[in-house]
Structures are given as structure tokens and as C-alpha cells.
Structure 1
């Protein structure tokens, strides 16, 4: 079954320039097509891309109008697939029932109106989240739309936020917060909203966390009949303590939680008025504690019975859901007084000047049977940083330059089952392995110092390998050291062993210059070049994933052996070496001035892959 929209054979790997960021976000995977397998039926939702064409071109006019339908929601709710699109400003939804019949949904029964599930335009950010057989939809404010959080599909009662609870919200994410007690399961919504009390020198935004209980069935006929009775919200701070240097615009939120436990971490991508971006980390336990114990803003009277807004079982009388006074408290005072502050009180200390555009995170079970958080951060320049986050701080594991055309990373998606990370820009999509263990070299010391939770040193095979599923710690031979940059677990003899590389020969014409690239495997090592085993070291210039040695006055790159040395954790390792041989010939003057240096660098770079 296909839902198909226009166009004349565009290349699948090239993504639309119109609304590229939202297009990628709405699909969750940065691809032009998505396939679902349900029993014996494969559903393919194909989005063919649209390009501007002159309106006087009659054959393409109809196609151009059709292309205004952007698919924004694809969710499997119980045994039914729900697919929604913008439909040129008038959203529509379809349901695939019994694996065969595709029906148009008009909004009745246990499914809300399409306009409550899908935005009318791709520029309006929206969030869809499936939890316990129900679909939850958060719509950002745009134009005359006030913005809302709703339960839109499922067997439970369809509910919504009151208009006074949200002030022009712009949603950045949502996550299920599990609990060992099922009826206490919650959903957090992350957004920025208008700050009505902002001074002239303040940003007009404030970051928020909104929370609802999945068991919520609404209020009574007299009050909150079709609205949440458990909605609460809190302000989120990201900055250096109580200083003026605050980041108030929450652009994206990612949550990692332990199964059936109200514990974990939330990572928020924030920006300030000058466009600078940072990552702040928050404890889920701290957030839960604030919602459970904080005073309500603007309300000072004691609570009657149970605290308003708490999660209680359906039909229970203990939580005061049907108590008119408690419903009134939640109706007019949904915000708590406590402010949610980041772990460590400040943003993560990331040693990079490149602005972050997107973030995803993963939980990895290490050899020591501890769980570790790994962040992948996409940047404005199209790079991807792989970051280990522990209680001690952050550690840059590696950096990737993936794209032929430099541009900001717009979306990323992790496929934990297949072990891949998908990264998309406006023009390209790339895939890389989560366990990219081969890039750390072929020694125990290099493998251990990478501090990559996906990788370990196999003492039996003497190789850096991916941690296999179901790894047995007792009988296994893998070693790691993720908490500290210390390779002593390899043994002193292994650490002190000096490795030599075989020099790669480069023929050099007399009138050309050479630039020698050294692959940067660790951003925590110091890189230097040596010539002919001399004591004198020559610095190198960092360029992307390489540390480059170029010609300088006292280092004529004409002939000799040049070795790139990396020093980390007190040990020096030879990364790569070149033997330059002068063949005595001259390159044509025109070619020497234009192609010589770049050509030789490009050739040398190709040898490294």
C-alpha cells in the first residue's frame, strides 16, 4: 500500500530544501521512504520530493499542489497504523486497518480531529509519542493556533490542555517516564514558552517541562471534563548558576531512563539570544522530586486531602481527582515554584566552538555491568561528536566528518538493534556504526584510552572489538576503563611497547610543496611530527580529522622520513609515517602552482582509508 505524493524522479538521498529540519524531525529517520512490516503485509510510505517549477508549466501544476502534503505522523497504535499529513494547510489522517484497508479518518470516536494530530504546515513543530496504546500529540503555537498537549488516539478518554496553561509553546521533545508501579507512569513534554514578565534586556523565552499521568481520565462535568487533571509544569534553567549567562530557548530534549525505574537523565539542547548553543543534563529523580513536593506557584493554602495533580488509579478516590477544590487548584495553579537546575549547576563542558544543531543519546552496558550514557552531537559544520558522559564530566570519544557538502546536521536517529547511527543534512544522509572500534588503532593502549563504551580490548585476540550482545563478564576476555583515561589495565609491558609504522613512499617533484596528513584518533593526545628520527619536533595544523604538516622555513618537505607521533597518558605512539623521495623532475609551472600541494595531500589522504 502506498501513500504517494508527486514528483519527477528526484534523487532519494537528496532531501527537500523547503522546511528541511522539520521534514527530518517528523519522520524520525532522515530518509525519503519508510517501510513497516506487519505480518504478511509491508506498508511503504513514500515521500517523493518537491522542487520549484514555473506555474505556467501546466503538466506540473497539479503535481506542485499535491506536494504541499508533508507526512508528519506515522505511528502504530495497537494493531492500526495512523498516518497524518499537512494536506496543504488542512491536515488529514489515514488509518490502515486489518493490514489491508486504508481509510480516511474524519475525527470521531477514539481518534481526535486531524488538526489536533498534525500541524497544517511543516514549519509548525509538533511532537507525537506512543504510550501504553494511546497516541499523545503536542502542537507548537503558530499564527492563531495557541498550542496544546493532547491524547489524540486510543481507548482512553481524549484529553487536552487548557488554553491558559501554555503561553505560545514551542515543543522540543517528549518522553515516557516509566515506573515500577504502572499507574504512576508519566509523560514529560519539553518546550519553551513566552515569558510575559521579561525585562527589556531579557530573552522573551523560558524553558519548561510539562508533565501528565498516563492514567488521567479527565475531571468532572463541572470542571476539567475534557482536560488533564494531572498537568503540571516547571521552569528549567540552563546556565552558570544564578548568573545572567542563561540559555532559555530549549531547542531539543533527549531522555535516557532505566526500565521500570523513575531514574535517568534528560539532555537539553539550549540556545541564547546570540545563537550560542550548549547542552545541559538533568536528573530525572530531581525532576520527579520537584513535581512531587514543590509548592504550587501562586497558591499558599494547605491542600485538602491528597496533593493535587498526583497520579492515582482509575476510579480511585484517594487522589482527589473528582474533588472540586483540588481540580480548581490544578486548573489555576499548574506551575510549581521549584526551578529545575542542571547536574553540576552548569552546562556540560564541551571543548568545541562549533555550534550544536542536533543531539541523540544511547545507554550502553559496559564490561563492568554498569550503564553509561553516550551522546552524539551534530554541529553547524556538519560534524558529529561522540561524547561519553559520566559523573566525572564529559569526554570526547571521537569526531566524524561525514559529508561531502558541508552543512548543518538537521537530524540524527539511533537504531540500537542494528547498531547504527543515521545522520542527515539538507543534502545528504550518512550511516555509521555505533561500535566503530577499528578507528582506535591496533594496540590495547589506544583501545582503552578511547573510552568508547561500545568497544573493548580482547586479550585473547589482541584486538579492539565491539562488546557482543549477552557478553559474559565472568568468562569473557574483554577489558575496558571508562571512568578514567588510564591504560594501566593493559599491563606495563604492553603500554611501553613502541610501535613503528612502515613509511608510505611519496614521490616529490622539485618545485612542488607537500602537505602530510596524520589521522587524529584521539582529541586528548598531543600530535607532533619528527623528521629522520631527529629530536626536534615540528607542530602540525589541525584540519578536520587530520593533523597536517606543511612546508615551513626550517622543514623543507623534499625528502626524508617524516613520522607523526601522538602522546597521551604519558606514552608516545607513532601514528603514521611517510618517506618523501625527490625524483629530480620538475612539474609544469602551471600545475605546480595550482595542483601540486592539494593533489599530494589528497593522494596521501586516500591512502589512509
Structure 2
């Protein structure tokens, strides 16, 4: 069975709950103009540059360092649009010409795209770029303190960037600087075929993965690299690489299948003595699984790894790994966030090795004897007496060379994605996570960038217990007006700011917008935003350890019945008076702040009558902004109450009092030439006001008919018929002819002969 057919069957049969998951709706959706005008969105762009891919956030200096096309930038963290410094770093002319001779576009590809940016020491940065298909690296002097206006490139310390930066600006690279050593995953040739995990800089010899061996790396796309301590002994420190690659263990007949991977190497790996000289001897890799469990074990996998964020905890040896995935399937479109623990990752690397004896054999768990020391273990005092990998026995080196793949995959926490969006017009691209202290615990807030220039703000809350988490989509923010994909994301917990980069610009946005949730306690509580709390008057930023009597916050439950019982404005409902003409249309508008709220309309004739739900039919139509009443009747007059139901809590939003005026009243006012027409009188609605209301909000497909009806009503009333007979005969004939003569003869004499006309 083909992979495409299998995915199609999964869709037809449903996922975990028996049907495809519905896309989550954000509680609040803010457009680019709203963010710019009221919520502190700042932008920065550089003329004749692009591709703000490398972001380095430096809290101590108060700067955001940026790598872009032909430029390095130093921007203020408080406001990136002000006090910027820049370094112009183009590729030499001869490199650009050589790039052009090789068939590359001299204006789009033969430039220096800065891909790597790391802090080197207290005064310098280390940056690498593509250099017009001639990778180059340099040291950048940035000063030691925020007040030092230093930002310059040292021309005497420019190095070859091979093995550090990609040649092609379209290729990805991932690296981390540990001490004075750079660990990078990158393509090391012009054609982009020789991919390697490479250690450079420092005093130790350079080491890389085995060359042209698909068991080690098979067309990888590197995503992220992190250092994670294993124990108190620095010799046990490991470097973890996250990438996706073409799977060698794929089933026959499925073609190329992409798998997400996590690879590990020991920081103190020195290579082998007789075999694997200057090659990694501790390299292992395992599959990262992010899948929705399906019926009969047929899971829906997300294998296109896009980005990884390492969230530090109190224990530096056990951070949380947040990763975002997409799918390359043409049948099922979606993105997912999965969370992994270091305990599960280490368990996979301590499990069985994957083994394949021949080209026609399936990959199975290796059942033979594993040599000592176990491949993948670091030489240290913690796990043995070996002082260096050069002291490892040959059988250990040979086993590691032929068995780099682990058999057991790394499963996500909870065995399923934390957050999933299916059948939406965007794909996740980047992620940043902030651990926030709230009144009832710690919460992880996810900021997810998409390929349409939006950022999703998601909070993870416990459902029944802290072991089972539920994602809440709080906001969807349009941070780039041109909808360009977000290619970089950084977060400052100290300044409560988010920084995003795209191919066209940089954006800065606060992590919270508490005032946007509304002016009532219930609205602030229902938002369930760990950054915000009700202080007795407004929804404001929550600060731990503050002694405010009326501060209210409950992210886990979000129950206004408990938190907002003391709010004196709880029972106050805004009121509005409406007038409608009998037979015309009236629109009852009610828009909740929350897109997740369900609107319920009730009606009562008077305040003393019981409320009953408004039933929708052909005459009463529900819209996104309210209810449209077609052909209003006298019986429609009364009190309409708009309720919003969210998270099990119902609150009234608006009370509308509708008064229906007879059609003869509106027509009489229009024909009598009432001097109060321009001002209007309560209880007497003139005909043209109903017409203006229809122009502002046309009814659904019935505009023409209603407008014709209103136009006919706006004419002066016809003269009363004579008791002796209808107009045109007997006594009514002469007055009509006299009126015609008085009306036309005088003007005709002044205008001259009347032209021939059928009218």
C-alpha cells in the first residue's frame, strides 16, 4: 500500500477521536494596523538588504545583533527602530564575478548572506556568511557594555568559512559555539552534496562525520544544535544535533521518506587511533517521532522538522525540547508541536541499535553482543577508565562506524503532539517558548511563527493533571503586513519582547497585550493569559509577589464565577435603542471580543416577561456580526439581549431595545415635510434612515427588493378617491385635468415647443 493511499485512508477513517482534528480558533485576532497603532509593534528594514535570518539576543549589552544580506546590524532591544548600528560586509568583487561565471544570479545569489552569528567572548562576536558561494567568517568587535558605541569588523581576522557556513544562501546550517570551538552541521562543498557535522576553531584538531556514508547522514537539512550537560563532569557533556533527512530504513516502494532525527556526539571526542581518524567515534542518531495515534496503530506522522527550541529548567541537565513539524503529504496538510524530555532521549540512545545485514533485509534490533565501552559513551571517569576515544578498542570503533542508528525512536511527552493545526492556510516555521510564573503555577507560553507572517500565542495548561496538558490558542498576530514567512524568532523574558525576522523586515512586539482583553473582570479572567491579571479596575500585567488586594488570576480554570464575584460592574450591561420601520430590515449588532465565544440571543416583550431564545429561520438570519431581521413586524418590538458563552461561563454583552414604527407613520413624516426631519424624533423613524442602514449593511441577497419597497414608500401618498367613483371619471376628472394644465402649460410656454418623446 502506498504512503499516499495510507494517509488518505487515515483521513477517511479519522484520527484519534474518529474524525480529523478541527483547527483551533484564536481567542483574539489582531491585524497589522491594530498592532502598529495600539500594541507597540515596531519594524526595522534596511534598504538594499534582506533575509534577516541570523538573530543573536544579548541581554547584557541590550542589543539585538542581526545577520542579513551584506550587512551586520546592532539594534536596541527596547526599540529596534532606533539607535541602530550597521556594518557593510559584502563579498569581494572577484568572488562575485566568479560566482556569476558559475551560472549563479549576480543580484540574488552572489552576495554575502550572513548565516552564523554567535557570542565569542565578552567583547567579540563570531559571524559567518555565504560570501558569494565562497564561505567566509570574521570576528566582530561589539564592546563589553551597552553604553559602548563599538560595532566594527576586524579585517585582520577574516577566515575561511568552509564547514561553518553553507555555500548556497538557500541551504540551511545549524551551529553552536562552545568555549572556543564551533560545532556545525552544514554542506561543505559547492554542489551541496557533502553534508557533515563538523568541529572547527579551538586548539584541537577538526573532526567530522564519515564522508559519503548514507548510514551516517543522508541528504540532511540541519535545524538546530545545543550543548546539554550529562553530569557534573564536563567530560560527559554532549552536543545534540536536530535535523531531517531521507530515511535509510524506509519501507520498500514508498520512495523517498523524510524522517526527523536527533544526533549526539561527545564534546571530548578526539576520533579513533587506527580507524575513524579525525572522525567522530561517539556519533549516534535516533528518530524523532511526532504523530497523532490512529486506529489500529496507523498513526499520522509529522516528519518535516522545522525548528527546535531548548527550554532551560532549574536542572540544566534536563531541559525541555520543543520542536515544530509539518508534513510533506499532498493529502493531509498540517503542523504540530511536540515536546521531548532528555530522559526519553537518553533512553533511546541507551536502547538497542538498528541493524541491517544486507540490501534485501529489513532493519531489525541488533541482538548480538555490544562491545565495551558501549558506543556513544564519552570517555570519562564517570563511565569507565578510558581517558580518550583514541584508547577505545578497534571493535568499539568498528561497531560505532557500522551502527550509528538506534532502533527505538524518541517519542514525545504524552505520546502525541502538544498543539496541532490541520487544514489551515499556513505552516509553522519557527518557535520560541517562555516559562511564565503565574498565581497558580508555572506555564509555558509558545510563540509560533508561520509562513504567512503571523505569530500564534499558545499557552499549555493542565487538563486533569500536570501530566496531561491542553493547549489554548490565545492570539493570532499579523506582525508582517506583506505576509512574508517568519524565518527567525527570538524572545527576551527580561524585557518581555518578541523579535521576528523575515526576508523583508524585522519586527518587535510585546509578549502581552492585557488591555486588549477588555475592561471587565470576566473578560480578563476568560483570557487565561499567564501574563495578565485583574487588579480591580483593569486587566494589567501580572507581577509575582505583589501585594494587591484585588489582583485576580486563574490560568488553569479561568472561572469568572469565583474570581469576579466582587466586581461591582459585573451586572452592568450596555444598552442601546433601535428603531425599525414595519416591513423593512433591522440589524442587531453584537461582536464579542473573543472569537471563541458562542453568541446566544434572547427576547422578551417587556422587562417583566420571561426571556426566550431567538429562533433563526428565513426571516431571522444569524451573521458573524449579529442578527438580521427581515421584514420587521410589530410583534418583533421588545428587548433583545446578546449573551456570550465561553469556557462554560455565560455573560450578557449588550441589551437592545427595538421599537417598530408603522409604515404609514414613516411615510407620513416624509410627505408632510416635517421640519424635524433633519433632527429626527424618538419613536418616529423616517423612511430614508432605514435606507441608509441598508446601504451600510446590505441584507443577504435581498437588497434590491427591499430598496424598491423603500423607494415606493418614500413617494407622496396618492390623493383620496372621490366617493362618487374612482379617479379619472365623473367628479374626479375635471380637477385632475385642471392640475395638469396648471402644472405644464406655464412652463411649456417658457421652454418652447416640447420635443417628441414617447414619455
SS in 2 for 1:116: coil
Aligned with 2:111 (options 53, 68, 72): 68
1:198 CA drift (Å): 3.9
* Whole-angstrom CA distance in 2 between matches of 1:363 and 1:247: 24
* TM-score, normalised by the number of residues in structure 2: 0.62
* Whole-angstrom CA distance in 2 between matches of 1:147 and 1:538: 65
SS in 1 for 2:525: helix
In the alignment, which residue of structure 2 is the partner of 1:127?
174
SS in 2 for 1:449: helix
In the alignment, which residue of structure 2 is the partner of 1:5?
none
Q: CA RMSD in A?
A: 4.6
Q: Does 1:267 align with 2:319?
A: no
Deviates more, 1:166-175 or 1:194-203: 194-203
In the alignment, which residue of structure 2 is the partner of 1:466?
541
* Whole-angstrom CA distance in 2 between matches of 1:180 and 1:537: 66
In the alignment, which residue of structure 2 is the partner of 1:285?
342
Q: Does 1:89 align with 2:165?
A: no
In the alignment, which residue of structure 2 is the partner of 1:243?
298
* Whole-angstrom CA distance in 1 between matches of 2:644 and 2:108: 58
In the alignment, which residue of structure 2 is the partner of 1:44?
86
Q: Does 1:450 align with 2:507?
A: no
Aligned with 1:363 (options 431, 434, 445): 434
Aligned with 1:567 (options 631, 635, 645): 645
Residue 77 of structure 1 contacts residue 135 of structure 1 at CA under 8 Å; is this kept in 2? no
Describe how 1:566-585 pairs up with structure 2 within 5 A: 566-575=644-653, 584=686
Matched length:
551
Describe how 1:394-433 pairs up with structure 2 within 5 A: 394-402=470-478, 405=481, 407=483, 409-411=485-487, 412-424=489-501, 429-433=506-510
In the alignment, which residue of structure 2 is the partner of 1:175?
226
Aligned with 1:212 (options 255, 265, 275): 265
* Whole-angstrom CA distance in 2 between matches of 1:476 and 1:153: 57
SS in 1 for 2:53: helix
* Whole-angstrom CA distance in 2 between matches of 1:186 and 1:506: 73
* Whole-angstrom CA distance in 2 between matches of 1:235 and 1:384: 28
Change (3 A) 1:66 1:172: closer
Change (3 A) 1:501 1:401: farther
Describe how 1:143-182 pairs up with structure 2 within 5 A: 143-163=191-211, 164=213, 165-179=216-230, 181-182=232-233
Change (3 A) 1:186 1:309: same
SS in 1 for 2:346: helix
In the alignment, which residue of structure 2 is the partner of 1:337?
407
In the alignment, which residue of structure 1 is the partner of 2:741?
none
1:209 CA drift (Å): 0.7
1:490 CA drift (Å): 1.0
SS in 1 for 2:524: helix
Q: Does 1:257 align with 2:257?
A: no
- Point out the structure with max Rg over C-alpha: 2
SS in 1 for 2:162: helix
Relative contact order: is structure 1 or structure 2 higher (C-alpha 8 Å, sep ≥ 6)? Answer: 2
* Whole-angstrom CA distance in 1 between matches of 2:308 and 2:456: 17
* Whole-angstrom CA distance in 2 between matches of 1:159 and 1:387: 40
Change (3 A) 1:244 1:270: same
In the alignment, which residue of structure 2 is the partner of 1:7?
none
* Whole-angstrom CA distance in 2 between matches of 1:559 and 1:95: 76
1:312 CA drift (Å): 4.0
Change (3 A) 1:234 1:577: farther
Aligned with 2:460 (options 383, 386, 389): 389
1:477 CA drift (Å): 6.5
* TM-score, normalised by the number of residues in structure 1: 0.75
